[in-house]
Amino acid sequence: MCNPEFTDGVREQVRKLINHTDELRLKYSDVAERHRVGNLGDEAIENLNQVIHLLESDSAAFERLLEKA
In this predicted model, what pLDDT tens digit does every residue of 22-44 receive, in sequence order? 999 999 999 999 999 999 999 99
Element (H, E) at 38: none
Angstrom distance (rounded) from CA 28 to CA 34: 10
Note whether 65 and 12 are within 8 A (CB). Answer: no
Least confident of 20-24, 52-56, 64-68: 64-68
The answer, as to whether pTM is greater than 0.95, is no
The length of the chain, given as a count of residues: 69
The pLDDT of residue 36 is 94
Q: Which residue has the higher pLDDT, 68 or 63?
A: 63
**Which residues lie closer than 8 Å to 7 by C-beta, 6 or more apart?**
none
